[in-house]
Structure 1
Amino acid sequence: MAVVEMMGMSLIGPREEIESLASEMLSQGNFEPVPLEYALERRTASLSAPGGSRISTFQKNPYDDLLEKLVRVWKEAGAEFPEERSCSRSTPSLSFDECSRQVLDAAKKLEIWRKRAEVLEEEREKLMAAGAFLDALASADRDVEETLKTRYLSITFGRLSSENFRRLEEMAEVTPLLVFPVVAEKGYVLAIIFCSRDYREEAEKIYRTVYVKEYDLGDIFEGAGENLRNRLRERRFDYERAIRGLQDAPRNYLGRRRKELELLYCAVHSLQRVYALCQKRGEMSGIFVLSGVIPASTLEQVGEAVDRLGPNTLLLTEKGSELQKRGKQLPTLLKNNFFTRTFEEIVALYSLPSYGETDPSPLVALSFCLFFGFMFGDVGHGLLLAAGAWYLARKGILKKAFASVIRIAGISAMVFGFLYGSVFGSEEILPSLWTSPMHGISDLIQTSLFVGVAFLSMGIVVNIVSLKRKGRIGKMLFDGEGAAGLLFYWTAAAAAAIGFTSGSGAPKPLLVLAGILFLVILFSSVLERLIFGPQGEDEGGVVHTFTVFHDLLSFLSNTASFVRLAAFALNHAGLSAAVFMLSDMVHTLPGGTLFRAAVLILGNIVIVGLEGLIVFIQTLRLEYYEFFSKFYHGGGRPFTPVTWNGKNKE
């Protein structure tokens, strides 16, 4: 249960083998690609070709455009895309040329249908405009040919947007134009515009500014007979049927060739994901290079894949510690059991552990349950809290991870409720297995201080182990948050405990030992340099002195802060007692039984909701500001392996 060891790896081999291995990496879901210089910083010189060519990198994915064109087929057909997970399990083997040919063939059909529909739509609009023009002339009792061949008037029939039509009407108020709307449809207006023939040239300039699409109706009306209106209507209906057929063409096409197109979609999607993985790949004289970071435990699995799929591919690896020495930040992957994994979200709220740092999730799982239950111990309220978290998670109001934390917190509150003998604030239903908050205040305070000393000590021990792992032996032995600091803390705590309980003051040997340890901590940097030599940057005497006093004073403030465990346990009991007192007061009123029940129900809801939130926040405060301050730094970034669907592997 810790931060998983990571390592860098690079694959160097022919294009076909690298593509196959990239596909395997996507299936395994344990590979995070990185720039070539990340893992090959010290090898790029040796990887130069004899002719002097160097590794070149590529950023454009050749399958992006193909996938976009293929997606348009499903969009035009109004159908749902194939499931990407099924693509990852059964990826058809097609070359780029074959994928391109099939995709471009489908895209060409869509383009032909679209352009043909646009042409027919324009013809339909023209016929509709002619029909509207005929209706307008009929209402004015005018003949078509006479109107079109008038000597003094210029008649324009055109289409423009509704917004531009309003602009044209405004212009008509100050220019010799007469504008009449005929048909308004889908944000457009078909209009008749009259002006004198002498003003025609100026009018055309105005038409261009408002984007009037003019219809030349002369050829349609030429030789017009009595049945012209019927002929126009029939032709328009024919165009509309043809347009509907072209609009249905993509859906019919997909229906006839769905299986074939789904296989093509899977092929293109799969290869697009492979190239997305290889996007930062390099090439040198036909040899491809792919670099990334993997968990060290999966190296054997990767090696087997290379043996199987890349007999001519070279696998280069580098330990995470070596990458760190070169200043590379490795991603963090946590591996915990189910219970501890629930509290990883609590740690992530503060900061993800940096690579190589101790994962505090197991300690948080233990301490969070202890702190919350201590402050909110009640069987009934804990049950309501756990049930409420379950309900909110089921309704999708709470994230699953946080709902699990709150459920566990509720169970912890129930356990402490049995220890306190408290059920919905009543301490008369169950016998207490340990103590009662209302009658055992001194026990609660002493226990809270003991818990504080224990957990702060645990934090210092974790810091000592971390310093040893980093090779900072001097700091581990003499620092205020090292072994000397831990001994000083225990000595001071023992002296304070004996002094307050015995009445005779703290034993002098403990005070002398505390003084010696204080001097060791104060001169820790000097001792470290004398015994072990320089092991890090010297922070300076003044800064070091202030740091020492800050660390030692924080022992006192951090320990005192744990008294809040007892304070909020007492506060919980007090609020519950206040609810019972208020319910007894309204019991004597008319309808007192109902009022009493309402006060009890609402009071307990407020306690669970409001105080539960406050206790949750106080628990986080103890974790982040008291406990984490002794050993935890954070600042890590999550490990984000690439998978077929582009999401992190769960």
Structure 2
Amino acid sequence: MSITKMKLVSISTDESNYEEMLKRCETSKYLHAENATSIVNEDNAGRVLSVENVYSDYVNTLKNIGHSIGFEMKSKPTIDKTYTNEEIEAFLKNVEEQFKVVSDSVESNSLTSDDEIALETLRVLDFTSMHDCQYISFGMGRLPIESVKKLNLIQDTKFITAKLHQTSQYQWIVYATSNTHVREAKKMFDGLYLEEIKIPTVDSKKIIAQYEEELTNVYTYCEERNRLYSLHQYVAIFENHYVVTGFVPTSDVDKFKAEFNGVDVKVEPHNPDDAPQLTPPTLLKNNWFFRPFEMFVTMYSLPAYRDIDPTVFVGLTYCLLFGIMFGDLGQGFLLVLAGLFLEKKSRNKLAGIVGRVGLTSMFFGFMYGSVFGNEEILIPVHQGLFNVHEKLINVMDGNFTMTLLITAVVIGAVLILTTMLINMYVQIKRKKWGELLFSQNGVAGFVFYGFILVAVGMTMINPGLNMLTPAWLIPFIGVPIVLFFFKEPLTHLMEGKSIKPHGGWGNFCLETFFEVFEILLSFVTNSMSYLRVGGFVLSHAGMMLVVMTLVEMTGNAGPVVFVIGNLFVMALEGLIVGIQTLRLEYYEMFSRYFEGGGKKFILISSDN
């Protein structure tokens, strides 16, 4: 439930072993490699390994050849042969000449799968031999089934036909006739609506078969060399040492070293602070329950390496708010089953989130006494457990509405204060003392907002207590507002900079006045934003009330209406509540403590 700690590693060897070192790096399960240009500078007298990669062109040429003749290029697991550049270029020139005939003679893109089957049957006659005949002409095509019946009635010794393939709509035939009668035969077949298919001049499959093994071998070799050359961007050269630098999870350093056993390669771990020009990548580490919520965090922005991972807080608050707004024991149970099933089957993080919010939906559904919209079935249970007259929380009770809305605002206020505390912790880690002390999300904002909440709460509890006196207002309201106003110059003062604003004090005061006004207004709007939590509780209960009313009105069709109504509410209300909860996470919470801007941890094997 944190950001994985990283070690900076340098992997070095000499010129004779650097390719083997790169092969081990490429298959590593632990290495995030850094581009060599980030390592090399004038001070260390290093240089980047720069070798022209001709293999990329070879690979593209081979793919184009394969595409033109309908042959899919695939690499073998291992290389059977090695080739010089001259051998590869001579081979490519040869196959391009050979396959130009194939690609010109085969219109594979215009042939259907049934056409291919017919050609396969015709192949036994040898396409080349058919074209070389001096006195006999051949033709093939597909006839409509209705025309086949007419063809069978024609008795003509000037041509013969043979069936190649048939479907419910067409029959593919080949016909042979003498050169003397070829025009007459073509005219007759045109009258039968024969759709002519050109007979290839060469048998492409035979030619492809001749070159298939060598094509695969050359492609495998070129693809492997191309991948290896693409890794050169990570290699820096210092004197005679070839060095790859990157980051490895601290817990996996020993496993990473073991990947180079048997090779003359030196692996040295370092503290990330030893290379301040490099930003360590972020790899989130959370347990099974919270891992799916990483999706929401990364959608906003990946946290920086030295910041905090908000995934656990996001998971807890998202489940809490969703459960409150979508409280139904039965529907929550279905969300759990569907979400966990889809997560296991497809590894979908969104499905995992659905399964987890279903748990809190079940909990609050039990507290509301709601099961698939039925508000009465749990009354005996509540009476026995909580010793209440009907239910512990009756959402549909009109007298409960104001309590619900006030509770929603209180929950929002608690979450706002919590995010302020998180922000203060983050600013301490970043050593940004001005943001910690003077910002609306720092100490000043916490004191200001916290006092307002305490004052309102105490007034409601004890109306005779007056906290709106100068003794309270000056230190808890006046001082924070002054700190908001002079945050920038005070921060500069703490950092030893000039406190005079760049645009002069006049412009500063005018701009800051409106900024402070916006800050004060945002405290109100942010708090009121949580009213939607109570609103959606009422909305969900209202929609289910409509469903249950329709069930009663439809008589025998009631069970069908009950099922369809519940599914409809789950889909519509669940989607809306999910979006609104995410909005609260992003706009009311993330904006107070989370900056993001982290660099994703990418294995060199997947990056390549």
TM-score normalized with structure 2 length: 0.72
Identity, % of aligned pairs? 26
**Per-residue deviation, residues 241-280 of structure 1 (Å, max 9, x unmatched):** x7764454456x59xx9xxx78x98776555433332345
Q: Which runs of 5+ in 2 are unaligned?
A: 106-125, 139-176, 185-193, 387-391, 503-507
The reply to whether residue 60 of structure 1 matches residue 10 of structure 2 is no
**Structure 1 pair 537–420 and aligned structure 2 pair: CA distance change class (3 A):** farther
Q: 1:95 to 1:270 in 2, by over 3 A?
A: same
1:409 matched to 2:357? The reply is yes
| 1:595-643 CA distance string (max 9 Å, x none) | x333322221221111111111110111011111111122334222221
Q: Counterpart in 2 of 1:579?
A: 547
- Determine whether 1:277 maps to 2:282: no
- Structure 2 vs 1, CA of residues 62 and 577 (structure 1 numbering), >3 Å: closer, same or farther? same
Give the superposition deviation at 1:482. Answer: 0.8
1:40 aligned counterpart, secondary structure: coil
Residue aligning to 1:438: 396
> Partners of 1:406 and 1:282 in 2: how far apart?
47
Match for 1:524 among 487, 492, 498? Answer: 487
Moved more, 517-526 or 455-464: 517-526
Matched, 1:370 2:330: no
| Structure 2 residue 522 is matched with structure 1 residue 554 | yes
In 2, Cα distance between the equivalents of 1:303 and 1:390?
Answer: 37
Greater mean deviation of Cα atoms: 426-435 or 465-474: 426-435
Match of 1:480 in 2: 440
What's the secondary structure of 1:16's corresponding residue? coil
Whole-angstrom distance in 1 between the partners of 2:562 and 2:235: 67
Judge conservation of contact 1:17–1:310 (CA < 8 Å) in 2: yes
- Quote the offset at 1:114 in angstroms: 4.8
Residue 415 to residue 477, structure 1, CA distance change in 2 (3 Å): same
Paired residues of 1:347 and 1:361 also in contact (CA < 8 A): yes
C-alpha deviation, 1:366, in angstroms:
0.4
What is the SS of the residue equivalent to 2:362? helix
Corresponding position: 1:503 with 2:463: yes
Shift of 1:65: 2.8
State the Cα deviation string for residues 400-435 of structure 1 (Å, max 9, x = none).
111111111122211111122111122211144652
- Are 2:598 and 1:636 aligned? yes
SS of residue matched to 1:621: helix
Q: Distance in 1 between matches of 2:65 and 2:36?
A: 34
1:616-627 equivalences in 2 (<5 Å): 616-627=578-589
Structure 1 or 2, whichever has the larger Rg, is 1
Aligned-partner Cα distance in 2 for 1:119–1:616: 57
The 8 Å contact of residues 472 and 535 in structure 1, kept in 2 or not, is answered as no
1:155 corresponds in structure 2 to none
> Which of the residues 410, 416, 420 maps onto 1:450?
410
Q: Tell me which residue corresponds to 1:205.
A: none
How many residues are paired up? 521
Residues 82-140 of structure 1: per-residue CA shift (max 9 Å, x gap): 68xxx4xxx67x89558x79978987996797589799999657535864499454579
1:304-453 equivalences under 5 Å are: 309-311=263-265, 319=272, 322-323=275-276, 326=277, 330-389=280-339, 400-430=348-378, 431-432=381-382, 434-439=392-397, 440-453=400-413
Distance, in Å, in 1 between the alignment partners of 2:588 and 2:374 is 32
In structure 2, C-alpha distance between the alignment counterparts of 1:293 and 1:613, rounded to whole Å: 40
Tell me how far apart the structure 2 counterparts of residues 512 and 338 of structure 1 sit (CA, whole Å). Answer: 48
Alignment CA distance shift 1:59-1:367 (3 Å)? farther
User: How far apart are residue 337 of structure 1 and its match?
Assistant: 1.6
CA contact (8 A) 2:82 2:221 kept: no
Q: Secondary structure at the match of 1:612?
A: helix
User: Does residue 1:564 correspond to 2:537, yes or no?
Assistant: no
- 1:351 counterpart letter in structure 2: S
Unaligned runs of 5+ in 1: 49-53, 142-182, 189-235
Specify the SS of the correspondent of 1:57.
Answer: coil
Instruction: Name the counterpart of 1:127.
Output: 132
| Separation in 2, partners of 1:598, 1:309 | 69
Q: Does the 8 Å CA contact 2:304/2:598 hold for their aligned counterparts?
A: yes
Secondary structure at the counterpart of residue 372 of structure 2: coil
Q: For structure 1, which segment, 472-481 or 455-464, has the greater mean C-alpha deviation from structure 2 after superposition?
A: 472-481
Deviation, 1:541, is 4.1
Relative to structure 1, the CA distance from residue 59 to residue 105 in structure 2 (aligned partners, 3 Å threshold; closer, same or farther) is closer
Query: 1:370 and 1:558, CA in 2 relative to 1: closer, same or farther beyond 3 A?
Result: same
Counterpart in the other structure of 1:465:
425
SS at structure 2 position matched to 1:290: strand
Partners of 2:229 and 2:183 in 1: how far apart?
68
Give the partner amino acid of 2:529: S
Is the alpha carbon distance of 1:535 and 1:322 closer, same or farther for their aligned partners in structure 2, counting shifts above 3 Å? farther
* Offset, 1:338: 1.9
Deviation at 1:512, TM superposition (A): 3.9
Q: 2:104, 2:531 → 1: CA distance?
A: 81
TM-score, length-scaled by structure 1: 0.67
Distance 2:499 2:352 in 1: 42
Task: Look up the match of 1:179.
Answer: none
Q: Is the 8 Å Cα contact of residues 58 and 282 (structure 1) preserved in structure 2?
A: no
Letter in 2 for 1:612: G
Q: 1:291-302 residue pairs with structure 2 within 5 A?
A: 291-295=245-249, 297-302=251-256
* Partner in structure 2 of residue 27 of structure 1: 27
Query: Does the CA contact (< 8 Å) of 2:281 and 2:599 recur in 1?
Result: yes
Q: Which of 494, 497, 514 is the aligned partner of 2:476?
A: 514
Instruction: Show the counterpart of 2:44.
Output: 46
